[in-house]
Structure 1
Amino acid sequence: MEFKETQPIYLQIADFVCEKIISKTWSVGQRIPAVRELAVLLEVNPNTVMRTYEFLQQKDILYNQRGVGLFVSPDGPKNALEYRRSEFMQKEMPSFFKGLQLLQMDLDDLEPLYKKYKKQNA
């Protein structure tokens, strides 16, 4: 995983975990990789992964089964989607809209491109 300098690493890992849940790679009730496992996979400090997991537990995306591990919570997919949408709207959309305005484009210009993208990536 390549990390950006513009966002804390633990939040980028949270995005990665949410993506796995939203895409159904990790399903409700499924045990997710242990802290050390994910740290090795992503080549980060285990404390960073622990911080990510604590953050996602606060958001009710993951839950801890003491002595067993971390699992995707029953509301995990819904909460992960809400979290990612909120982050997208707050962090990425303003820059995107600024670009549209600068280039004198509107949403009608994007619709055929978006439809094409969805068709190719279905």
Structure 2
Amino acid sequence: MQFRESQAIYLQIADYVCEKILLKEWKVEERIPSVRELAVQLEVNPNTVMRTYEFLQQQEIIYNQRGIGYFVSPPALKNAQSYRRNDFVEKDLPQVFRTMFLLGMDPEELKPRFEKYKKQNFA
């Protein structure tokens, strides 16, 4: 995984976990990789993954069954979507709007491109 300098690594890992849940690669009530497994997979310190998992537990996206592991929580889809949506609106969208303004673009121009993207990538 390529990490960006503009955001804390544990939050980038949280985005990765949320994406797996939102794409339904990790299903509700399904066990997710352990702290060590994910740390090895992403080539990060296990403490960083632990921080991510603690953060995601606070967001009620995952939960811990002591001695068994971490699991996708029942409200994970809704909570992950809400978390990612808020993050997108607060951090990414202002830059998109700025660029659109500078280029003289109207939001309606993007709708056909968005529909094409959805069709090609998520049909």
> TM-score, normalization: structure 2?
0.97
Partner of 2:26: 26
For structure 2, which runs of at least 5 residues remain unmatched after alignment? none
The SS at the match of 1:7 is coil
Residue 94 of structure 2 corresponds to 94
Q: Distance in 2 between matches of 1:23 and 1:112?
A: 22
> Which structure 1 residue ranges, 5 or more long, are not aligned?
none
TM-score (norm 1): 0.98
Q: Percent identity?
A: 65
State the SS of the aligned residue for 1:108: helix
Q: Residues 1-122 of structure 1: matches in 2 within 5 Å?
A: 1-121=1-121, 122=123
What is the CA-CA distance between 1:120 and the residue it aligns to?
1.4
| Residues 63-108 of structure 1, C-alpha deviations (whole Å, 9 max, x = no match) | 1101111100110111011100110111100000000000000111
Question: Hey, what's the Cα distance between the residues in 1 that align with 2:37 and 2:118?
Answer: 33
CA distance in 2, matches of 1:51, 1:83: 17
Structure 1 stretches of 4+ moved >6 Å: none
> Which secondary structure does the structure 2 equivalent of 1:16 belong to?
helix
